[in-house]
Chain A
Amino acid sequence: MKGNEAIAHAAIRYGADGYFGYPITPQSEVLETLEALMPWETTGMTVLQAESEVASINMVYGGAATGKAVMTSSSSPGVSLMQEGISYLAASELPALIVNVMRGGPGLGTIHPSQSDYFQATKGGGHGDYHLIVLAPSTVQEMADFVGLGFDLAFKYRTPAMIMADGIVGQMMEKVVLPPQRKRRTDAEIAEQCPWAVTGRTGGRPRNVVTSLELDSAVMEKNNERFQRTYREIEKNEVRYETKYTEDADYLIVAFGSIARICLKAIEDARKQGIKVGLIRPITLWPFPYDAIREAARNVKGILCVEINAGQMIEDVRLAVSDAVPVKHFGRMGGIVPNPQEVLDALEKDFINPTKA
């Protein structure tokens, strides 16, 4: 099935309570699949087509505040509209899952694939000091798997998580093993698991108020310190990445999401020519695998960051290795996806045979 469809199936099987979304290419199949599957008849999951992305994310905010497992999905321009709500979710310490099936920008841009929302997803996006847990799937299988992982991490740390996919992995069809169907949590389970949830003062318990407002600066600073402690915990525990052919590599490619697969083909082609190239694929873009890249870079002559954008993740890679190793960028923009030969050419031009160019 398509990556977007896998997201929908995985959400139902996870036992998600609600999905709120708005159509935008190239991710509309998430909402379409959910509406076709009618999970309200089976698991009781709520699915609603909202009037805008602004409304979708605020529905997610309202649902998340009641302790429910809720999500939305969109593509780049829509995710821009959601940034205010995402900031509120982070500030109110609410778990939620947001899927961005990226397309080329800026502006209305193109409907074709891109990875140009890396800065937006990993460096904030909305206002204020906050982070999202950002998962970057490169296969349809990971599209399905990261729904559960995203929700689990969001609830573990009470912070929103994002699946940052792109138009390729959203539209691509692959075989996928879906997770088993889980039951949605009961209201009693939610009350126990989320004592902060706004559910009405059931049983006369002290009331719960979910708010991001705090006019006392001293308290607001304490709130921020608490958020930062959570982020440090996440950085400590949740860095995820994959390495291929790094043991003997002379050169390293760092790439995430769908382009990592294209890079792997380029690496295999290079190795046939005797050029030893390895791959690091960050799976969590935040927290970013700084240590792993620093470690892998120890014995290489150069690092090529391949992204479907003008060079965004490269800033984090440079932070990881400082000036120890030259780091170059290769990418295409505007919805154009580089092919393996272009990646190889870039590697040759930048590192292997720089004089030739």
Chain B
Amino acid sequence: MAKIQGAVVIEKERCKGCDLCVVACPCNVLALQPKEVNDRGYHFAYPANETACIGCAACAMVCPDACIEVYKVIER
């Protein structure tokens, strides 16, 4: 059976911590940094549960700041 694996790269300095990617992710991959902030003082998003990512790009599509890149591999 094919297995889909994904990964996201979040440009943390662009992120404003709006949380919309976290909400959009169907696999609960993303979270906002609970303590750490970026140079602008935002709790930026990060892949907290990386292995669950399926590379669907839902997060990237709704990201208003275009700070998410998505990669996807389909293993057969």
Instruction: Verify whether A and B have any Cβ pair under 8 Å.
Output: no
Where the two chains meet, the residues of A that have a C-beta atom closer than 8 Å to any C-beta of B are none
